[in-house]
């Protein structure tokens, strides 16, 4: 079964740091680009970051650029999101999602259940 | 700053047809933006419905269809059912690794 499982969500103080992980199983992880998408309480979905299949290319929303770092370890089938200088507005459920490997297939086909990050003093 | 627009809310009667749209604050949506659609119920992860404008994801019933209508992408539900009551999000790929979500449409079936 294809599965993505996020972990690492927690309560953190403003200005603090946190690392989220997303463990992939049931497919060849190294063949797929991966994304992080978040959803603040009562709000819509927001694209956060993406990484290419080999980790060589990364992309960020303006709202997190310079504060968040996406990475992956294909030997461990795991995606990461290192979050720093956290703000109250970063409070959200963070989903990891898979993007199909075929060229010109720009969408997310598998989603994890999410990890909750709360930034508060 | 590109804004992807969606109707905040919509209502449809059971068995009825509804079309949700996905536009741009400036310009027209075309297939070149690879519009995709996602369904989300409260407390759940998103579910992929449609990609590349009009291709249904695996397991999605054929009463869901996608298209370009005028200058917007569209998701049409034909024969709405009670369990279609959800939030629906479109996403456009803007190029250079940038994706933009619409604000979502809350669909009520009553």
Which residues in chain A have their CB less than 8 angstroms from residue B57's CB?
Answer: 109
How do the pLDDT tens digits run along chain B, 110 residues long?
A: 789 999 999 999 999 999 999 999 999 999 999 999 999 999 999 999 999 999 999 999 999 999 999 999 999 999 999 999 999 999 999 998 889 999 999 999 99
pLDDT of A102 reads 81
Mean of the pLDDT values across residues A32-43? 97
Measured between CB atoms, does A108 come within 8 Å of chain B?
yes
DSSP code per residue over B7-23? -SEEEE-TT-EEEEEEE
Which residues in chain B have their CB less than 8 angstroms from residue A113's CB?
Answer: 45
Measured between CB atoms, does A50 come within 8 Å of chain B?
yes
Q: Categorize the per-residue pLDDT at A17 as very low, low, confident or very high, splitting at 50, 70 and 90.
A: very high
Q: For residues B100 and B35, give the distance between their C-alpha atoms in angstroms, rounded to a whole number.
A: 10
Q: Report the chain B residue with the minimal C-alpha distance to residue A48.
A: B99
Nearest to B15 by CA among B96, B74, B77, B65: B77
Contact A105 B52 (CB under 8 A): yes
Q: For residues A62 and A81, give the distance between their C-alpha atoms in angstroms, rounded to a whole number.
A: 15
Q: pLDDT by residue (tens digit) across A59-97?
A: 999 999 999 999 999 999 999 999 999 999 999 999 999
Which residues in chain B have their CB less than 8 angstroms from residue A63's CB?
Answer: none
Contact B46 A59 (CB under 8 A): no
Measured between CB atoms, does B96 come within 8 Å of chain A?
yes
Q: Whole-angstrom distance between the N-terminal and C-terminal Cα of chain B?
A: 36
Q: For residues B110 and B106, give the distance between their C-alpha atoms in angstroms, rounded to a whole number.
A: 13
């Amino acid at each position: 079964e294809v599965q993505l499982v996020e972990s690492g969500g927690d309560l953190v103080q403003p200005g603090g740091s946190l690392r989220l992980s997303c463990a992939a199983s049931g497919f060849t992880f190294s063949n797929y680009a991966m994304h992080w998408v978040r959803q603040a309480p009562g709000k819509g979905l927001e694209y956060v970051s993406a990484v290419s299949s080999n980790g060589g290319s990364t992309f960020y929303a303006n709202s997190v650029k310079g504060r968040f770092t996406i990475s992956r370890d294909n030997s461990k089938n795991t995606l990461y999101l290192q979050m720093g200088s956290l703000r109250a507005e970063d409070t959200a459920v963070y989903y990891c999602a898979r993007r199909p490997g075929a060229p010109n297939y720009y969408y997310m086909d598998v989603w994890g259940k999410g990890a909750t990050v709360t930034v508060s003093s | 700053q590109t804004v992807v627009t969606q109707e905040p809310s919509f209502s449809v009667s059971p068995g009825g047809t509804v079309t949700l749209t996905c536009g741009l604050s400036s310009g027209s949506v075309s297939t070149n933006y690879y519009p995709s659609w996602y369904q989300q119920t409260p407390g759940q992860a998103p579910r992929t419905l449609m990609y590349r404008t009009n291709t249904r994801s695996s397991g999605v019933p054929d009463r869901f269809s996608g298209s370009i209508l005028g200058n917007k992408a569209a998701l049409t539900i034909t024969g709405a059912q009670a369990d279609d009551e959800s939030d629906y999000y479109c996403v456009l790929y803007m190029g250079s690794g940038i994706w933009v979500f619409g604000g979502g449409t809350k669909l009520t079936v009553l």
